[in-house]
Amino acid sequence: MRLLWVSNIINLVLDPCLIFGLGPFPRMGVTGAALATFTGRSIGVLYQFYRLLKGTERIHILVRHLRLNVRVMMRLLRVSVTGILQFAIANASWIVLVRIISIFGAAAVAGYTIAIRIVVFFILPSWGLSNAAATLVGQNLGAKRPDRAAQAVWQTGFYNMLFLGAIGIFFFSFATPVVKLFVSDPAVVPIAAIALRTFSCGNIGYAYGMVMLQAFNGAGDTLTPTIVNFFGFWVLELPLAWWLAVTMHWRAEGAFLSIVIAECSIAAAGMVLFRRGRWARQQI
């Protein structure tokens, strides 16, 4: 958490300075935002090494600890390859989705981007809960307590559902005022508000979906979330977005709806597969 505070505070301070050229800083526009992010993250990494080498943390790295263990490295590579593919599938689908929405003009892309940014910011606590579930799964499997791991996941999913459900009700009720905090363009505001309301309808699905997929990752079963993501995003979401938006002439609203349907389907698939319990027999 301290690392993220350092990195993001530097980013937040440098953003207006480099974008608008405040004080001694040059006016760089969008390039300044990229440079601010690069600077903040780089300093965050350096601070991370400083804390690790200082010896005040739970993990203290010394030179004598550094050695090559090919067997462990290969096991890490085996687990991480599907993990990398898992997130690549999801992120690539968002890029294609932007391309579909761009058919309907710059206002549609702007509205979609603003709505997604608002959602991503407000669901950050949910990602924290999901990561906690992954940690608890790994810890309890190591302790030979798969029953306790499953209990932790279901409880985390329930708490996440309560949180995101409340956020969804708030966004659905006050979508337009929330959007107007970030943009005033009369062509963008209604599209962003519709997107935010539509996304909010799938919050319960998001809540359980992110917890379930992270639980698989925590158990070392990165293949299952990869397969679920592939079918959810590429087999279901993208064709459905095109069909609803272009073929059915629902325009950008059809693409927004496809996201909700896909995310809820991913959540349902994750819950069914998690209940089967194959993750509990995973060996790393």
Residue 225 near residue 144 (C-beta atoms within 8 A): no
Between CA 242 and CA 249 the distance in angstroms is: 10
- pTM comes to 0.81
Residue 47 near residue 57 (C-beta atoms within 8 A): no
Between CA 257 and CA 112 the distance in angstroms is: 12
State the Rg of the chain over Cα: 21
Which pLDDT score, from 0 to 100, does residue 284 have? 62
Which pLDDT score, from 0 to 100, does residue 241 have? 96
Residue 98 near residue 114 (C-beta atoms within 8 A): no
Count of Cβ atoms closer than 10 Å to residue 52 Cβ: 13
- Please compute the mean of the pLDDT values over residues 206-214 and round it to a whole number: 92
How far, CA to CA in Å, does 126 sit from each of 137, 166, 231, 233, 271?
17, 12, 23, 20, 17
Higher pLDDT, 87 or 232: 232
Count of Cβ atoms closer than 10 Å to residue 212 Cβ: 29
Is residue 122 over pLDDT 90? no
Which DSSP symbol is given to 234? I
Between CA 173 and CA 190 the distance in angstroms is: 14
Phi, psi of 198 (to 5 degrees): -65, -50
- Please compute the mean of the pLDDT values over residues 204-223 and round it to a whole number: 90
- pLDDT band at residue 16 under the 50/70/90 scheme: very high
The percentage of residues in the chain with a pLDDT greater than 70, rounded to a whole number, is: 99
Residue 165 near residue 243 (C-beta atoms within 8 A): no
Each residue's pLDDT tens digit, 41-95: 999 999 888 888 777 777 777 777 778 889 888 888 887 888 888 889 988 998 9
Structure token digits, residue 221: 């079963």
- Please compute the mean of the pLDDT values over residues 186-197 and round it to a whole number: 95
